């Protein structure tokens, strides 16, 4: 896993070091720089094997592309920087340094140049770990245990492989409904495209695990993929969506309880996506989710976050998450060192700074009741609410 990241001269981050856990949640007011942290890692992912980076690659990672003079830190009363740098330290103490520069900071279409200090990776690891892992997964001789051992070995000895696959997911409903295919990532896109394709790749064990979370959606009886896409010819969907995912409502008559993904409510699409991404071996081991609370009921947010923290451990994934919903915090166990909460603020000079909230403040209400983390946030005790109006 990635243990520590230091970011210098990237967007609103002049110089900041963050010590990461397995699940990392960032909170703060709008515009404080939470997404910039995710995007800094995205730049590393793009630059890990590329000496020159085009905008298209950055966009495919989930990075908001801007004029280079806005990506390299630009503050009043501070000498403009000519490049930005990112240093990463992994759990085994290996580190990786990358410097990003560009010839013309005013050229929106220019390519970024990358200089890096290489990791001392295990040379016995195969050149194409993902291809070999995929081939092993399809083999009848492979077992879940053998695949887990292979994945564990790759992650421990080849952190570049994990970084290369890093993505920032920022879901939107039209993409989840199969109306757009903007990012063209496989098997599932950064905006939610291709959810049915991802689910179709699941084996019986993965599907069973995913369906075990059905309790989070009160009306859900089942879901399935219409592989032949034959139901659209029977009038089950208007055929605006390219998705073949269908749901079964347990409150409707059995002979008329099936409906398509484009007719489902937004909440189930987001929940199903997050759980599927966490369960699948085909999705990145290291990933980010921007605004995880979108379209979700606050109570659901809490329990979804609890399950994501459990899956991060059982599936050996590492996450960076931003949120504006206090209910997400109630799903975090701050006594677990692998689960970390960070407040993100901007200083008087505009620099983004992160501070880990290690212990829940023991503040009681007037009635003697201890506040939840969500209440501490909304009442301003966590220091991440705007106080200038």
Residue 379 lies in a domain: yes
Q: What's the number of domains the chain is made of?
A: 2
* 15 and 78 both lie in a single domain: yes
Q: DSSP secondary structure string, 218-247?
A: TTEEEEEE-TT--GGGGTSS-S-----EEE
Residue 107 neighbours by CB distance under 10 Å: 12
| Residue-range definition of the domain harbouring residue 186 | 172-283
Residue 149 lies in a domain: no
- Read off the pTM: 0.90
What's the pLDDT score for residue 314? 96
Who has greater pLDDT, 149 or 9?
A: 9
* 162 and 289 both lie in a single domain: yes
Distance CA 323, CA 295 (A): 12
Who has greater pLDDT, 374 or 187?
A: 374
Who has greater pLDDT, 361 or 136?
A: 361
* 192 and 303 both lie in a single domain: no
* 290 and 386 both lie in a single domain: yes
Distance CA 329, CA 78 (A): 36
* 248 and 295 both lie in a single domain: no
Residue 333 neighbours by CB distance under 10 Å: 12
Q: How sure is the predictor about 92, in pLDDT bands with cuts at 50, 70 and 90?
A: confident
Which of 116-130, 174-188, 302-316, 317-331 is predicted least confidently?
A: 116-130
CATH number at residue 54: 3.40.50
What's the pLDDT score for residue 329? 97
Residue 141 lies in a domain: no
Picking from 274, 86, 88, 287, the residue whose alpha carbon sits closest to that of residue 168 is 287
Distance CA 44, CA 99 (A): 9
The burial class, CB within 10 Å (0-12 / 13-18 / 19+), for 162 is buried
Please compute the mean of the pLDDT values over residues 307-321 and round it to a whole number: 97
Distance CA 339, CA 317 (A): 12
* 237 and 288 both lie in a single domain: no
Range ranked top by mean pLDDT from 176-185, 240-249, 364-373: 240-249
What's the pLDDT score for residue 360? 79
Which of 124-128, 153-157, 162-166, 364-368 is predicted least confidently?
A: 124-128
Identify whether the C-beta of residue 241 lies closer than 8 Å to the C-beta of residue 270.
no
Who has greater pLDDT, 312 or 187?
A: 312
Which of 283, 305, 322 delimits the end of a domain?
283
Residue 127 lies in a domain: no
* 265 and 304 both lie in a single domain: no
Which of 235, 257, 283 delimits the end of a domain?
283
Q: How sure is the predictor about 218, in pLDDT bands with cuts at 50, 70 and 90?
A: very high
**How far apart, in Å, do the first and last CA atoms of the chain sit?**
40
Please compute the mean of the pLDDT values over residues 12-22 and round it to a whole number: 98
* 117 and 16 both lie in a single domain: yes
Please compute the mean of the pLDDT values over residues 139-149 and round it to a whole number: 59
Please compute the mean of the pLDDT values over residues 306-319 and round it to a whole number: 97
* 21 and 103 both lie in a single domain: yes
Tokens of 92: 């085994």
Q: Which residues pair with 174 in a beta bridge?
A: none
Residue 132 lies in a domain: no
Position 50 pLDDT exceeds 70:
yes
Contacts of 324 (CB under 8 A, 6+ apart): 27, 30, 291, 293
Distance CA 150, CA 339 (A): 25
Which of 263, 283, 303 delimits the end of a domain?
283
266-279 and 298-314 are packed helices; what angle lies between their axes, rounded to 10 degrees?
10
What's the pLDDT score for residue 155? 52
Q: How sure is the predictor about 123, in pLDDT bands with cuts at 50, 70 and 90?
A: very low
* 45 and 88 both lie in a single domain: yes
Residue 130 lies in a domain: no
Tokens of 41: 């890692």
Cis peptide before 187 (omega within 30 of 0): yes
Residue 148 lies in a domain: no
Decide: helix, strand or coil at residue 318: strand
* 276 and 347 both lie in a single domain: no
Residue listed under structure tokens 């109570």: 299
Tokens of 83: 């490049």
* 30 and 162 both lie in a single domain: yes
Residue 138 lies in a domain: no
């Amino acid at each position: 896993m990635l243990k520590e990241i230091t970011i210098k001269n990237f967007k609103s981050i002049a110089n900041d070091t963050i010590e990461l856990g397995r699940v990392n949640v960032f909170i703060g007011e709008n515009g404080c720089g939470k997404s910039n942290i995710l995007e800094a890692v995205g730049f590393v992912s793009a630059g890990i094997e590329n000496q020159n980076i085009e905008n298209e690659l950055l966009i495919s990672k989930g990075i908001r592309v801007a004029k280079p003079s806005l990506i390299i830190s630009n503050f009043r009363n501070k000498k403009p920087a000519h490049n930005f740098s990112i240093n990463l330290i992994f759990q085994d103490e290996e580190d990786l340094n990358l410097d990003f520069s560009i010839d013309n900071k005013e050229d929106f279409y220019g390519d970024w140049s990358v200089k890096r200090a290489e990791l001392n990776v295990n040379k016995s690891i195969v050149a194409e770990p993902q291809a070999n892992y995929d081939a092993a997964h399809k083999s009848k001789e492979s077992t879940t245990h053998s695949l887990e051992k292979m994945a564990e070995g790759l992650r421990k000895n080849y952190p570049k492989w994990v970084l290369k696959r890093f993505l920032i997911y920022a879901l939107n409903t039209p993409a989840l409904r199969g109306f757009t295919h903007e990012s063209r990532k496989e098997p599932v896109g950064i905006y939610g495209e291709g959810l049915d394709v991802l689910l179709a790749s699941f084996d019986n064990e993965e599907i069973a695990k995913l369906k075990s979370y059905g309790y989070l959606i009160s009306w859900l009886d089942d879901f399935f993929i219409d592989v032949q896409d034959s139901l659209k010819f029977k009038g089950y969907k208007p055929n605006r969506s390219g998705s073949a995912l269908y749901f079964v409502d347990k409150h409707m008559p059995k002979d008329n309880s099936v409906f398509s993904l484009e007719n489902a409510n937004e909440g189930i699409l987001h929940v199903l996506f997050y759980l599927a991404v966490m369960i699948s071996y085909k999705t990145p081991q290291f990933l980010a989710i921007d605004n995880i609370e979108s379209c979700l009921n606050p109570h659901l947010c809490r329990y979804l976050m609890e399950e994501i923290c459990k899956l991060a451990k059982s599936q050996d994934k590492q996450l960076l998450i931003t949120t504006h919903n206090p209910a997400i915090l109630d799903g975090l166990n701050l006594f677990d060192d692998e689960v970390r909460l960070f407040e993100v603020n901007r200083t008087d000079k505009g620099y983004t700074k992160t501070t880990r909230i290690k212990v829940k403040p023991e503040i009681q209400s007037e009635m003697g009741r201890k506040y939840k983390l969500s209440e501490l946030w909304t009442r301003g005790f966590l220091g991440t609410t705007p106080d200038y109006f």
